[in-house]
Structure 1
Amino acid sequence: MTLDLNLIRSHFPALRRPVIYFDNPGGTQITQMALDRMVHYLTLHNANHGGAFATSRESDAVLEMAHQAVADWLNAARPDEIVFGANMTTLTLHLSRSIARTWQPGDTIVVTRLDHDANISPWVLAAQDRGCRVRWVDFHPEDGTLDLDDLARALEEKPRLVAVGYASNALGTINPVAKIVSMAHAVGAWVYVDAVQYAAHGPMDVQALECDFLVCSAYKFFGPHVGVLYGRYDHLQALSAYKVRPAPNDPPGKFETGTQNHEGIAGVLGALEYLEWVGRTFGAAVDQPTLAVYSGRRRTFKQAMLAIQAYEANLSRALLDVLEAIPGVTVYGLRDRARLAERVPTVSFTLAGWLPQAVATALDQAGIYVWDGNFYALAVTERLGLEGKGGLVRVGPVHYNTPDEVQRLGDALARLVRQA
């Protein structure tokens, strides 16, 4: 069974608006199940943590359900390996301070030029504070893939930490994270994975990856503006948290500083309940022998993300076909149709004679929403020589988008070329 797009789209109230949302890499539209969870929380269970009364107990129960749901989604070993926060950037800035306390002057920290700056600057700033060296790993400009030979050379310096993205938010490249983790662990380095751009597009298993930390944001996978961090329990337990004194001394509470966004966390639960519905409804068609190790909701989540991944591979192919047929378009990143499994359907391009912002403005007038600029992937646009030229135009369909919408994008770009 393929995805029923009419049924899928009925779960997203924003899609009633007669526009095309291709701005999803900056934030997807929210599912009704997440909205329902948020309203239900605020109207029935709204209270602070730890009170000796009913609504506080009910509030805590919702938050515990959300921790467990994320643990099941990521296949974490236990729910207290899940930390909620404002967003990926804030969580990373917070945790980087704790991790940096374990470094010594002269230690090496590895970052990559393919990453979002939220997985670069926190580590660069922490390295400066601790007198550590930052080693940058390059990517191949011709296809947007990480330079694994350069990574291997960086690992010869025995770094303390490797910060790497699961998928590039600018070029769509999926990095071979399991291989990178194995390479890094062989020299004793921890690995901090930014999965923000990948989370909406494919299955994740933190135990199989053996990563030390993985972070994402729910507003990139159909929920509200809440950040989600996975950390190995032994790491979270051992690290010193920057927190107020009465806060818990054990994870996840020691890192969930202040009063959390309870209604937002309830919304994360709703977003994952939506993905669970996708798995129950469409997942049987993509059942694979590799799923035998999962059971219950964890298996359903994996089926959901595999169904989404299979559908989006066709969107990637259609999007590349449409863009490459437009005179003057230059697509950056992987374009080989035989390697679609190595990218998410986030595609960036430039149009000859047009500034990226002008393209985005013209597409907005056609009812098509796309991003322009560097998308906080500043190292990418600098490496491609595009930062001083307005950056890139970024198109990012997700599983609620349709092939017809992709074609309408191509028609709109063709009109721009004719007008010019």
Structure 2
Amino acid sequence: MTSSTTYDVEAVRAHFPALAGGTAYFDGPGGSQTPDVVAQAIYDVMTGPLSNQGANTPAERNAAATVDGARRALGDLLGADPSGIVFGRSMTQLTMDLARTMAKDWGPGDEVVVTRLDHDGNVRPWVIAAEAVGATVRWADFDPATAELDPAVIGDLLSDRTRLVAVTAASNLLGTMPDIRGIADLVHRTDALLYVDGVHYTPHAFVDVTALGADFYACSPYKFLGPHCGVVAGRFELLENLRPDKLAPSSDQVPERFELGTLPYELMAGTTAAIDFLASLVPGGGSRRSGLEVSLAAVGAHEARLGTRVEEALAALPGTTLWSRAARRTPTLLATFDGHAVADVYAHLGRNGVNAPAGTFYAYEAARLLGLDEGGLRIGLAAYTSDADVDRLLDVLTDYVTR
């Protein structure tokens, strides 16, 4: 499905109670709105028989089935092995934990590569872990004129001492989607590992971690209509060789050895429901994996059409600078306006029923490289964005910045 006419956005919107208030939400990159089916799944788990995982009682079996179901659903969403799906409080928490664990095998002379395009959640954990053991951090810059990250820039930083490269599949600030496969090929020639931040990429693409060449792929369900938690899909054989700090009696199995304490069963159920919902956005998709492919293609076409409307309108506004310039990017636009502080633009939009936030959004290094200390206004499209939402955004924004 590639035509936006096959996508019934009003039918999709009917599942989002928050939209009934009339606000136009363009803040999806920071966290999407939640469909009713996800809230219902969380409610059902919380109000049904539930205990720690086991096979003896209905409550134990419910917990075990919820965990297994979530791993399988994420395997379908990401094209990953369910046995390598690790759950945590957030992507940042999981990345911090994995960085500390991997760094146990690093030392002086070893090297780690990070990029200035990334959210700090895929930068600072590696910097902190490397510095703690005396390893060297190497920085890959993107081109501020184009917002592109050339794989060759990373390639030039690699050596036989490179242990890991951390890179985003899509910039949460600019939308830039680097050539992850091209980067992976360069990284693996040195026998280094590739850790991919897919938080902003996953809501807008049909993911296949094997095709991408990612050894580890991190994402956040609350960015793709689910609840607030984090996920890392890792290659099982790599996870098996990592020894994270854990409690003595807790399971040493993979992926359980990476999941500290009792799992959030209700959030795992909500994650499964979000993935099932995504797979059903275009009817007749077949298996969950094939349904995701069809539905996400339709969502992508819908978002691209609306994104073109927004981009063309912003480009025509006097004094507007668009910083999202990459050839391949998500439906995310960062803009600044001559004579108007972005915080003031954001506040005015909010007073008029449009949620489009301003800031740097933890893309600390990217904002510094661009010279945007206060960041910009970020406009992000989602599966539930409508033409009426875009109309309101453009009307309110145009009225304000052309005064």
TM-score (normalised: structure 1) = 0.92
Deviation readout 1:97-155 (Å, 9 max, x if unpaired): 11111212111100000000000000000001110111000001112111333212112
1:243 maps to 2:246:
yes
Q: Which amino acid aligns with 1:347?
A: L
Structure 2 CA distance, aligned partners of 1:413 and 1:158?
Answer: 50
- Mapping of 1:144-155 within 5 angstroms? 144-155=147-158
Deviation readout 1:207-250 (Å, 9 max, x if unpaired): 22221000000000000001111000001111001111111111
2:206 to 203, 208, 223: 203
Give 3-state SS (helix, strand or coil) of 1:401's partner.
coil
Q: Which residue of 2 aligns with 1:255?
A: 258
Kept after mapping to 2: 8 A contact 1:326/1:413: no
Kept after mapping to 1: 8 A contact 2:176/2:329: yes
Shift of 1:401: 0.3
Percent identical among aligned pairs is 39
Q: Which residue of 2 aligns with 1:399?
A: 383
Q: Which amino acid aligns with 2:27?
A: D
Kept after mapping to 2: 8 A contact 1:326/1:410: no
Q: Which residue of 2 aligns with 1:327?
A: 318
Shift of 1:407: 2.7
- Mapping of 1:185-196 within 5 angstroms? 185-196=188-199
Shift of 1:403: 2.5
Structure 1 CA distance, aligned partners of 2:308 and 2:105?
Answer: 45
Which deviates more from structure 2 when the two are superposed, residues 217-226 or residues 179-188?
A: 179-188
Give 3-state SS (helix, strand or coil) of 2:402's partner.
helix
Q: Which residue of 1 aligns with 2:333?
A: 347
Kept after mapping to 2: 8 A contact 1:279/1:302: no
Kept after mapping to 1: 8 A contact 2:180/2:213: no
Structure 2 CA distance, aligned partners of 1:203 and 1:366?
Answer: 34
2:15 to 7, 11, 18: 11
Aligned residue pairs total: 399
Which deviates more from structure 2 when the two are superposed, residues 146-155 or residues 201-210?
A: 146-155
Q: Which residue of 1 aligns with 2:354?
A: 368
2:6 to 2, 9, 25: 2
Q: Which residue of 2 aligns with 1:27?
A: 31
Give 3-state SS (helix, strand or coil) of 1:168's partner.
coil
- Mapping of 1:256-271 within 5 angstroms? 256-271=259-274
Unmatched segments (≥5 aa) in structure 2: none
Give 3-state SS (helix, strand or coil) of 1:161's partner.
strand
Give 3-state SS (helix, strand or coil) of 1:309's partner.
helix
Q: Which residue of 2 aligns with 1:39?
A: 43
Kept after mapping to 2: 8 A contact 1:318/1:403: no
- Mapping of 1:283-298 within 5 angstroms? 296-298=287-289
Structure 2 CA distance, aligned partners of 1:127 and 1:88?
Answer: 19
Give 3-state SS (helix, strand or coil) of 1:68's partner.
helix
Give 3-state SS (helix, strand or coil) of 1:160's partner.
strand
Kept after mapping to 2: 8 A contact 1:171/1:333: yes
Structure 2 CA distance, aligned partners of 1:23 and 1:396?
Answer: 6
Kept after mapping to 2: 8 A contact 1:213/1:231: yes
1:230 maps to 2:233:
yes
Change (3 A) 1:198 1:98: same
Structure 2 CA distance, aligned partners of 1:333 and 1:18?
Answer: 28
- Mapping of 1:309-328 within 5 angstroms? 309-328=300-319
Change (3 A) 1:237 1:321: same
Structure 2 CA distance, aligned partners of 1:39 and 1:52?
Answer: 23
How large is the RMSD of aligned CA atoms in angstroms?
1.4
Structure 1 CA distance, aligned partners of 2:317 and 2:91?
Answer: 36
Give 3-state SS (helix, strand or coil) of 2:348's partner.
helix
Q: Which amino acid aligns with 1:173?
A: T
TM-score (normalised: structure 2) = 0.96
- Mapping of 1:296-307 within 5 angstroms? 296-307=287-298
Q: Which amino acid aligns with 1:301?
A: L
